């Protein structure tokens, strides 16, 4: 039985993680930092992503992991003046003109020798037409000009367990919206692009209150020789800083 369980765990580790679209709010602010919150209000979230080579199961040391997500009110930095309670009807990178040069809730980290990248942020809110999620891109880098590297190997979106999200959305910073959040099953991208396989494992940080924050983790299997079609090299020139 123990051997069967170990075999199953190893096989799951080798699976390619499903890609999802980057959406319209990708930027390349070249911010190499672990804490991306910039004082944004919301429930604290410690995020750890483990990047592995899906062909070998080995950790991908030195990969550059970018994440970006909306704040508790559903706004993205760079597009802070858009109304998050009104659905956007476009999804392509650069298709929505930027409104500002803010950089909150964006940043990059290198994977360590165990393939792990860690971020300190806040639990994302929602915007009209989407479930709660975090965007991720993984770049395979070489040389010293790592922040100029445009070889994106994998692009995805991370989702949250419904029971945790419901408790977070009852916190003051997330309440009082004109629109309602979608649950995961109602989100078209989650349903059509295998979002279930991109759902974080989430645990509370403290025992007293969920407002103390959460810890989230996911292992992401990528093809290190792949070039993603979701973020192309020319996309780095669209509304970036």
State residue 5's pLDDT score. Answer: 35
Give the residue with greater pLDDT, 117 vs 30.
Answer: 117
Instruction: Write out pLDDT tens, residues 142-153.
Output: 766 777 888 899
Three-state DSSP class for residue 172: helix
Instruction: Write out pLDDT tens, residues 80-111.
Output: 999 999 998 778 898 999 999 999 999 999 99
How far apart CA 10 and CA 156 sit, in angstroms, is 22
Instruction: Write out pLDDT tens, residues 21-59.
Output: 999 999 988 899 999 999 999 999 999 999 999 999 999
**So what's the architecture of 2-237 in CATH?**
Sandwich (2.60)
Average pLDDT, the chain: 90
Least Cα distance to 45 among 160, 198, 136 occurs for: 160
Q: What percent of the chain has pLDDT over 90?
A: 80
Give the residue with greater pLDDT, 176 vs 210.
Answer: 176
Q: Which long-range contacts (CB under 8 A, 24 or more apart) does 162-167 make?
A: 164/202, 164/210, 164/214, 165/123, 165/131, 165/132, 167/210
Enumerate the domain spans of the chain.
Answer: 2-237
> Quick one: average pLDDT of 179-194?
95
30 Cβ contact list (under 8 Å, min separation 6):
108, 147, 241
* 232 pLDDT more than 80: yes
> Quick one: average pLDDT of 188-202?
95
DSSP H/E element including 192: helix 188-192
Instruction: Write out pLDDT tens, residues 122-148.
Output: 999 999 999 999 999 999 987 667 778
């Amino acid at each position: 039985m123990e051997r069967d369980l170990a075999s199953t765990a190893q096989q799951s580790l080798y699976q390619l993680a499903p890609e999802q679209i980057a959406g319209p709010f990708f930027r390349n602010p070249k911010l190499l930092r672990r804490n991306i919150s910039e004082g944004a209000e919301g429930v604290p979230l410690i995020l750890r992503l483990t990047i592995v080579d899906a062909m070998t199961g080995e950790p991908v040391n030195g990969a550059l992991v970018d994440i970006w997500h909306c704040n508790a009110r559903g706004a993205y930095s760079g597009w802070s003046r858009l109304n998050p309670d009104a659905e956007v009807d476009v999804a392509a990178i650069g298709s929505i003109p930027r409104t500002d040069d803010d950089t909150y809730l964006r940043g990059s980290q290198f994977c360590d020798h165990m393939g792990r990248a860690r971020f300190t942020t806040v639990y994302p809110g929602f915007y009209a037409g989407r479930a709660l999620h975090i965007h991720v891109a993984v770049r395979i880098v070489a040389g010293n000009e790592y922040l100029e590297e445009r070889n994106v190997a994998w692009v995805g979106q991370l989702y949250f367990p419904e029971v945790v999200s419901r408790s977070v959305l009852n916190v003051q910073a997330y309440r009082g919206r004109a629109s309602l959040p979608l649950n995961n099953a109602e989100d078209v991208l989650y349903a059509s692009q295998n979002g279930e396989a991109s759902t974080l494992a989430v645990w509370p940080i403290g025992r007293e209150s969920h407002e103390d924050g959460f810890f989230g983790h996911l292992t992401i299997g990528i093809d290190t020789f792949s070039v993603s079609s979701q973020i192309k090299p020319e996309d780095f020139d669209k509304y970036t800083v």
